[in-house]
Amino acid sequence: MICLGIEGTAHTVGVGIVDEQGKILSNIIKMYRPATGGIHPREAANHHAANIAPVIKKALIQSGKKIKDIDLVGFSIGPGLGPCLRTVATAARALALSLNVPLLGVNHCIAHLEIGKVITKASDVVLVYVSGGNTQIIAFSNGKYRVFGETLDIGIGNCLDKFGRILGLSFPSGPLIEKMAQKGEEYIHLPYSVKGMDVAFSGILTATKNLIGKQKPEDLCYSLQETCFAMLTEVTERAMAHTEKKEVLLGGGVACNKRLQEMITLMARARGAHFFCPPPSLLVDNGAMIAWTAVLMQRGGCHMDIQDTGVRQNFRVDDVEVIWKDVITTRS
């Protein structure tokens, strides 16, 4: 079986093609980069509309497959920005109907987890899902993926981007902040906000913003990263202790940050747990993760009619009944 997956929850439109073994035949992304400021949902949606067809073509060529070889279409049904979701949903419906193949709407957060699992061969993980809009600690429990910890206000990537914008860095600022942080020398104390397994970033962002002009920007980037990532690592460890799981997996664009990877690795090692991290092309938003999750869902017997494929901007992971459980529990 060959599945084509379309991702488009936020700034990236992506198309991936995978087979039923989870082998990635192609994975093409195109990212919307605003000239100034952050993501404008409508502009991002226009970007996706303009790019979806070429990206699908490119993905097909790279995979060596013909369009008629596609047996299943998956797309990101949510959570995400409404205009972007509706744009790719329309493309996915049109594609599935014209090919007369099944269509499945995939939860974007679960897709990050499933692709990480199949690529790294992890089985029962605690996922640290860190991106612009999302910051969640997710693990499987009682038939569902559940959120054990999450941000109480803004996503970690959003926090970094907002800070970067004030420093005059372009979007996305995370990678630039990471570079500047490497030049930081002095740690400046910032608020540390962990509540149980949840975190909050807006207070730290304000505190750091208020220090601009009073401290070196490199030191601020360094201190902001060190504080936020220490909080994330701490709540991850709490979730691991609570769920008694021995594997930790990274997902989301912010997981490309080497310092965050290092912190989670050190934490895992100290606990005798295993650390898994897919390559950057599968950490960021991409179509292959959507395609693979659609494969799993179909294998589990999931079916959607066109009228079931309305987008869900606030789609939570724990709203999904994981019916492809046999795949998850193969190891145990």
Partner 1 sequence: MLLRQGAEAEIHLTSWMGKQVIQKRRLVKTYRLKEIDEKLRKTRTKKEAQLMTDARRSGISVPIIYDVDINHCQIIMEYLDAPRVKDVLDDLTGEEQKSLCVTIGKEIAKLHRYGLIHGDITTSNLVLLKGRVYFIDFGLGEKCCEDEVRGVDLHLLMEAFSATHRNPRCFGWVIQGYRDIFGDASMIEKKIADISKRGRYMRSGTIT
**Least Å distance between CB 211 and partner 1?**
16
Outline where DSSP puts E strands in the chain.
2-7, 12-19, 24-31, 72-78, 103-107, 125-130, 135-141, 144-150, 194-195, 198-199, 247-251, 274-276
Say if CB 31 and CB 16 are below 8 A apart: no
The residue among 17 and 127 lying less far from partner 1, judged by its C-beta, is 127
Contact range with partner 1 by CB under 8 A, out of 18-26, 96-104, 166-174, 234-242: 234-242
Residue 183 interacts with partner 1 (CB under 8 A)? no
Task: Please identify which residue in 65, 93, 216, 242 interacts with partner 1, judged by CB under 8 A.
Answer: 242
The residue among 55 and 267 lying less far from partner 1, judged by its C-beta, is 267
Task: Please identify which residue in 133, 251, 278, 287 interacts with partner 1, judged by CB under 8 A.
Answer: 133
Alpha-carbon dihedral of residues 164, 166, 167, 168, nearest 10 degrees?
A: 90
The residue among 35 and 270 lying less far from partner 1, judged by its C-beta, is 270
Task: Please identify which residue in 142, 210, 330, 332 interacts with partner 1, judged by CB under 8 A.
Answer: 142
Say if CB 212 and CB 246 are below 8 A apart: no
Who's near 151: CB < 8 A, 6+ residues apart? 135, 136, 198, 199, 200, 201
Residue 79 interacts with partner 1 (CB under 8 A)? yes
How many residues sit in the footprint of partner 1 (CB under 8 A)? 45
Who's near 211: CB < 8 A, 6+ residues apart? 188, 220
- Separation CA 295–CA 315 (nearest Å): 20
Residue 234 interacts with partner 1 (CB under 8 A)? yes
Residue 271's φ and ψ, nearest 5 degrees, are -90, -5
- Cα-only R_g, the chain: 19
Task: Please identify which residue in 72, 84, 264, 320 interacts with partner 1, judged by CB under 8 A.
Answer: 264
Near partner 1 in 201-230, by CB under 8 A: 226-227, 230
**Core vs surface per residue 250-275: b (16+ CB within 10 A) or e:** bbbbbbbbeebbebbbebbeeeebbb
Task: Please identify which residue in 15, 103, 240, 297 interacts with partner 1, judged by CB under 8 A.
Answer: 240
Contact range with partner 1 by CB under 8 A, out of 28-36, 44-52, 94-102, 314-322: 314-322
Residues that bind partner 1 (CB under 8 A): 79, 133-136, 141-142, 146-148, 150-153, 155, 187, 189, 192, 194-198, 226-227, 230, 233-234, 237-238, 240-242, 262-264, 266-267, 270-271, 314-316, 318-319
